[in-house]
A and B are shown apart, each in its own frame.
Chain A
């Protein structure tokens, strides 16, 4: 079996909410609430789910861009929190992220050439000649050319900016990349070029991806396994072929029913109600407030994770025989 590259164990990330009055109790936005999964080396792992469900937070937690409230992240079996400064610098070279909003993540005062050259300089990669070549090669890989070297980020189109962000993530030949909506601003043709590029790099260097996207067509095409998040938790996880074609969790079912271009209107399951407040999540199963199959037990008890087959796991009382029986009798 392939080795796990990244392992998340019981990750919690809470943000303190500003109190409106001094007498108010402290409240926390539970952005991520008990998430565990592992990503195998050489795998593309997809993370999908409703806006605000905690996907970007998970990505940032893995890269240590934000501190953890609870839980641990292991990289090649080592707890990332225990890294020394030196280890951390080495590790930073190996793990990269493409942020959701490239405009916010690229330094507006620096040219594209500088932005791409800087990481090579910091990590003392090759000589000047090597670096210059590497920058040009990487620009070409993402479908741009030397005419963009002297441009500032604001002088690019949205998709060009996104490709510069991708270029800066792959330029150091990393082992692991978090791609947070990293291809969503690209038109289908350029997107296909980038996806092909990422796949080629993966084959060549055994790269591992955590691929966050709401474009389910792209996720299904690109990823080997998928995890579905809802309100800070993973509700279902499994191989793309299984989860994508027959999602079990009612939320995953609704989500995958809505792939616009492929399914007939009638098959769409429209979710009723609103996403609950992550500072005050519902009791029991987090999805019960919007679930059309909700049973009594769902309002009270949080479902445990049941296995379907092999790696396909779902957290839902419907699939826990004991619970269903208890509810019916």
Chain B
């Protein structure tokens, strides 16, 4: 078996809030293999972005990893010094941020912001840097790259800004890209172009990608494997076809049932009743129990062990634990 490029084991992350410490991620374990695309799905606030921030060592100031390990090619990322981080962040590991303006400097031209990455991580000449920047901009579908090079972020449309952020993440040819909702602001045509670019990176450069998205169409299109997160935990994972065609966790089933389409016009859309518990509302037991229509007595008391369904498909739900099946 191949060795993973990234592996996370039993990671817990918590926030220090004014009235105490609250767990935001619990027992996160997963691996990413070379040239694999791993999707992360889950409702707003479940901890998808936080997981990526933990991997890249850029957690918010009031958050910390309490427990667990993150290994990237034999490096323990949790013990890495800021100096070493500077070297690999952006070059070996890079991130495409969810909201473009969080990642862009409003006072610098976009061309400069892309070529800056090359300046930091390579010793290419200024001229080559500019050439590379322009060809990268074209690859993300900014065909007027030469003109846009000297634009400031506010002069670009939302989708154009998003593509600048993608260019910044890809320009140094990283081994692992964490893409947090990278195509949400893009129309379908350009989205297809970006997905194709990711696919090529995977195929020709063996780049691994963690792909956070709520768009199941995109997930199905690009991912090999999917992790389903709920309230800070991974509750189900498996190959993308397994998860979509044969979801096991009641939460995953609910998510798939909520996908809107025009055939549902005029009807209320299906939603999973209730909402993700806030950090302070999370108690013991399965965090989904309150919203789950298949809830068993044990669900509120104990968080379920992971059950292997088939191959790499695992689920954490009491319904599939031996005892529960018998009582059904």
Contacts and interface: CB of A to CB of B under 8 A. Distances in A.
Contact of A15 (B155, B163, B181, B218): B155
Contacts of A48: 187
A147 B278 contact: yes
Contacts of B99: 101-104, 158, 161, 185
Interface string B157-191: 11111010000000000000000110011111111
A244 interface: yes
B153 to A, nearest CB: 9
A101 B100 contact: yes
Nearest to B274: A143
A271 B260 contact: no
Interface stretch (A4-12, A114-122, A251-259): A251-259
A158 B49 contact: yes
Contact of A259 (B60, B163, B188, B264): B188
Nearest to A269: B189
Contact of B45 (A159, A180, A218): A159
A193 interface: yes
A49 interface: yes
Contacts of B45: 157, 159-160
Interface residues of A, number: 69
Interface in A176-233: 180-181, 184-193, 195-196, 199, 214-218, 220-221
Contacts of B308: none
Contact of B184 (A104, A181, A244, A259): A181
A157 B275 CA distance: 14
Interface string A52-68: 10011000000000000
B188 A218 contact: no
A102 to B, nearest CB: 7
A49 B216 CA distance: 21
Contacts of B62: 155
B265 A221 contact: yes
A188 B247 CA distance: 16
Contacts of A163: 44
Contacts of B301: none
Interface in B83-133: 98-102
Given A184-B185, A188-B214, A188-B216, A218 B260 contact: yes
B158 A100 contact: yes
A261 B216 contact: yes
Given A160-B44, A187-B41, A260-B221, A56 B158 contact: yes
A75 interface: no
Interface stretch (B27-35, B200-208, B235-243, B251-259): B251-259
A157 B60 CA distance: 11
A154 interface: yes
Residue of A20, A143, A240 with highest tally of chain B CB at under 10 A: A143
A160 B99 CA distance: 12
A261 B216 CA distance: 8
B46 to A, nearest CB: 8
A145 B45 CA distance: 13
B42 interface: yes
Contacts of A246: none
A20 B254 CA distance: 54
Interface in B187-228: 187-192, 214-218, 220-221
A187 B255 contact: yes
B260 A221 contact: yes
B157 A56 contact: yes
A199 B266 CA distance: 10
A185 B262 contact: no
A193 B158 CA distance: 24
A76 interface: no
Contacts of B155: 15
A244 B262 CA distance: 9
Contacts of B159: 51-52, 214
A184 B49 CA distance: 16
A255 B265 contact: no
A242 interface: no
Nearest to B44: A159
B162 to A, nearest CB: 8
A181 B181 contact: no
B262 A221 contact: yes
Contacts of A172: none
A148 B101 contact: no
A277 B147 contact: yes
A270 interface: yes
20 contacts: A51-B186, A52-B156, A101-B161, A103-B99, A147-B281, A155-B62, A157-B45, A181-B185, A186-B214, A192-B271, A214-B159, A214-B187, A217-B262, A240-B265, A244-B262, A255-B188, A258-B188, A259-B188, A270-B189, A279-B147
Interface of B: 18, 41-45, 48-50, 60, 62, 98-102, 141, 143-144, 147, 150, 155-161, 163, 180-181, 184-192, 214-218, 220-221, 254-255, 258-262, 264-265, 268-272, 275, 278-281
Given A104-B101, A279-B147, 19 more contacts: A50-B187, A51-B185, A51-B190, A55-B157, A56-B158, A143-B275, A145-B278, A155-B60, A157-B48, A181-B158, A184-B185, A187-B43, A188-B259, A189-B43, A190-B44, A191-B260, A221-B261, A221-B264, A259-B217
Chain A to chain B: the 7 pairs with minimum beta-carbon distance, closest first: A159-B44, A51-B159, A274-B143, A260-B217, A220-B262, A187-B214, A261-B217
Interface of A: 15, 17-18, 20, 48-52, 55-56, 100-104, 143-145, 147-148, 150, 154-155, 157-163, 180-181, 184-193, 195-196, 199, 214-218, 220-221, 240, 244, 254-255, 258-262, 268, 270-271, 274-275, 277, 279
